[in-house]
Amino acid sequence: MRVIVQPNSEGVSLCAAKVVANLVRDKPTCVLGLATGTSPLGLYQELIRMHHDEGLDFSRVRTFNLDEYVGLGPNDEQSYRYFMQKNLFDHINIDVRNTHVPDGRALNLSTYGEQYEKLINDAGGIDLQILGIGSDGHIAFNEPGSSLGSRTRLKTLASETVRDNARFFGSEDRVPRLSITMGVGSILESRRCLLVAMGPSKARAIRDTIEGPVTAQVTASALQLHRDVLCVVDEEAARLLERRDYYREVERAQTLLQEGRLSELGVSPQPNDQ
Ligand code: F6R
Dihedral of the alpha carbons of 67, 68, 70, 73, in degrees to the nearest 10: -150
What confidence score (pLDDT) does residue 248 get? 94
Structure confidence by residue, pLDDT tens digits, 126-153: 999 999 999 999 999 999 999 999 999 9
- Contact partners, residue 184, CB within 8 Å, separation at least 6: 139, 140, 142, 146, 147, 148, 149, 150, 219, 222
Structure confidence by residue, pLDDT tens digits, 146-165: 999 999 999 999 999 999 99
Structure confidence by residue, pLDDT tens digits, 84-113: 999 999 999 999 999 999 999 987 888 999
What per-residue string of b and e applies to 202-228 under the rule 16 or more CB within 10 Å gives b? Answer: bbbbbbbbbbbeeebebbbbbbeebee
Q: What's the mean pLDDT when you consider all of the chain?
A: 96
Query: Is 95 annotated in the active site?
Result: no
Domain boundaries, the chain: 2-259
Residues framing ligand 1 (Cβ under 6 A): 35-39, 66-67, 132-134, 138-140
What confidence score (pLDDT) does residue 274 get? 54
Task: Tell me: pLDDT of 270 over 90.
Answer: no
Distance of CA 60 from the midpoint of ligand 1 (Å): 26
Q: Once rounded to an integer, what is the mean pLDDT over residues 56-71?
A: 97
β pairing state of 128-131 and 31-34? parallel
Structure confidence by residue, pLDDT tens digits, 238-268: 999 999 999 999 999 999 999 999 999 999 8
Mutate to test the pocket of ligand 1, among 9, 12, 36 (most ligand atoms within 8 A of CB): 36
Is 2-259 a CATH 2.160.10.10 domain?
no
